[in-house]
Amino acid sequence: MLSIVVVATLVVLAAVTQAGVLALQRAHPAQGCMVDVDGARLHVVDIGPRDADGVPIVMLHGASSNLEVMRRPLGDELALHHRVILIDRPGHGWSTRAREQDSTPAAQGKMIDQALGRLGLGQAIFVVHSWSGALGARIALDYPERVAGLVMLAPVTHPWRGGVGWYNTAVTTPVVGRLLAYTIMLPLGHFLAAPSARGVFLPQLMPDGYVNDTATALLLRPREFLANARDLVTLRQAVAEQATRYADITVPTVVISGDVDKTVSTNIHSRPFTAMLPNAKLIVLPGVGHMVQNAATDLVIAEIEAMIDKLAPRSTTAAN
């Protein structure tokens, strides 16, 4: 009798999950174009004047999010004067991925480089947040001809102690993980999405309407929840393998972090990372947590603009 109840409950939760997926996708449709790459179709939003002076800007979001997290405080504003390309990382937002092993910065960097090539893009300034700190660094290492400069916001760059959340570990467990993702996580996440997002903003306040405006709930779809969890559980090993190479990153780099970031420790990541680079500047903001792009939007934009101005003479010379 108990087994029948359990099975019936799982069937109901699976049906609720599928209905929820359809509702979420209707509420938050794709805003850009799809670019085919090896092992994925990447969702790209390309905004701003194509003929703008200076190098274009590529923006890459962190974990548990999508490109709207970078577009709302930064992308739309920068696009008034610059070409801005926002990308849903493979498996996130409206981007897909076909292989489980495409969770690493190396694999995702390869796909993003392919997508930018298909868009006809040459060099760009990469603006990266959190998980994508490791991704931006990896792209600079593997595709240096693609990267004119890096602006890194609360970046993950080094191994750390501790885990990445029980639920991420649980859903990456064979068989059981997929069962959880396709039954429980979306209904449960409906109640936890806003509190979890508020926690990432601390000690700053989360902007009103943030969860809806940034389509954060798309994360609760099973395939994206699984992809996000896989990204997180494989990240520590990935950064351990690439961290010894950071001194090879010679492009202008600005790292902006908060001194009370409880999500990505500035002392574990940003400080040792900038110490390894020959051409890096670290800005540590007092009293600021993990969402640097929201807490210090004007400062971040000013640093991006300054880097574009710094690179402009070099770009002009190359054109001549």
- Model confidence band, residue 316 (pLDDT cutoffs 50, 70, 90): very low
pLDDT of residue 217: 95
- Model confidence band, residue 312 (pLDDT cutoffs 50, 70, 90): confident
Q: Kindly state which CATH superfamily the domain 2-319 is placed in.
A: Alpha/Beta hydrolase fold, catalytic domain (3.40.50.1820)
pLDDT of residue 253: 98
The SS3 assignment for 18 reads helix
- C-alpha to C-alpha distances, 35 to 25, 44, 51, 263, nearest whole angstrom: 19, 7, 21, 32
- Burial label for 8, CB within 10 Å (0-12, 13-18, 19+), is exposed
Alpha-carbon Rg of the chain, whole angstroms?
19
- In residues, how long is the chain? 320
What is the C-alpha to C-alpha distance for residues 297 and 1, in angstroms, rounded to an integer?
57
Strands (E), the chain: 33-37, 40-47, 57-60, 84-87, 124-129, 147-153, 253-258, 280-285
CB atoms within 10 A of CB 142: 16
What is the pTM assigned to this prediction?
0.94
Question: Rounded to 5 degrees, what are φ and ψ at 7?
Answer: -65, -45
The mean predicted confidence, pLDDT, of the chain is 94
Per-domain residue ranges of the chain: 2-319
Tens digit of each residue's pLDDT (9 = 90 or more) over 110-162: 999 999 999 999 999 999 999 999 999 999 999 999 999 999 999 999 999 98
